[in-house]
Each structure stands twice: as C-alpha cells, then as structure tokens.
Amino acid sequence: MHEFSVASSIVSSVAAEAARRGASRVTDVYLGLGELNFLCMEQLVYAIGIISEHTALEGATVHIENRPARIRCNSCGYEGGAQHEEFGEFHQSIPLLSCPSCGGSTDILEGRECEIVNATMVMEE
C-alpha cells in the first residue's frame, strides 16, 4: 500500500524534469516494474492519475512494462531468470529464488525496481 508515496515521487521527478526543459505537457510516462516488488500496477496508475492533476502530467498515459526477476547463483554462477511455481485456482505464480540450475542460494540482480524509463513531453515553440 505504498503506491501513493511512490506515485508522488514519480510525478514530482517527471514534473521537475519537464519544468527544467521548459516542456508544457507530459503526454506519456513509461515505467518498468519488477516482479519482485510489491507495487500493484492498477493502484499505481490510479495514484499517478490523481496526483498529477494540476501538474504538467495531467492526463498523461502511464505505460507499465512488467520486468521479470534476474538472479545470480552464489554457487554455480548461473545468471538469468527465476523459476516460477504455479498454484491455486487463481493461477498465482510465485517466483522461486533458488538457483534453477543447482538449487543454490542466489542474489537478486533485477526485479525489485520501479523505474521511470522515459517520458514524452510537449514543447511549445
């Protein structure tokens, strides 16, 4: 439930960048959301919509790319995606962080991020 605080840092950094460049409007914001964080996509989009009222981002379309986890094995050096376990009637899928190759423990390289990738802005000339 921290979508609102994350949304406000997204809106304020994009709005600040728009102001710095003298852009009048932001039409699109592209985000990359790792599968290992706890941000709920719908809530994040909703929160950005509300917070961006009366800012340069008002009415901007938010595009979210879901990013899979990347892990590195501490034993065999495997680097790549994580295995998933499907279960339950809702087909919820749990990323498993053990090494898919040897079962060893791993470090998370990617998948926890909430990245502002880029934004499309309009400059009046």
| Phi, psi (deg, nearest 5) at residue 79 | -135, 125
Half-sphere exposure of 40 (CA within 13 A, CB side): 8
Residue of 93, 113, 97 lying closest to 105 (CA atoms):
97
When asked if residue 66 is in the footprint of another protein (CB under 8 A), the reply is: no
Residue 72 C-beta: closest distance to Zn ion, Å: 9
Cα four-point dihedral sign 10, 13, 16, 18: negative
- The C-alpha atoms of residue 7 and residue 45 are separated, in whole angstroms, by 8
Q: Which does 78 bind (CB under 5 to 8 A by kind): Zn ion, another protein, none?
A: Zn ion
**Among 1-9, 19-27, 76-84, 113-121, which window interacts with Zn ion (CB under 5 A)?**
76-84
Q: Which does 23 bind (CB under 5 to 8 A by kind): another protein, Zn ion, none?
A: another protein
- Apex CA 73: angle with CA 110 and CA 34, to 5°? 15
Residues of this chain that bind another protein (CB under 8 A) = 1-2, 5-6, 9-10, 13-14, 17-18, 21, 23-24, 27, 36-39, 85, 87, 94-98, 103-105, 108, 112-125
Binding site for Zn ion (CB under 5 A): 73, 75-76, 78, 99, 101-102, 104
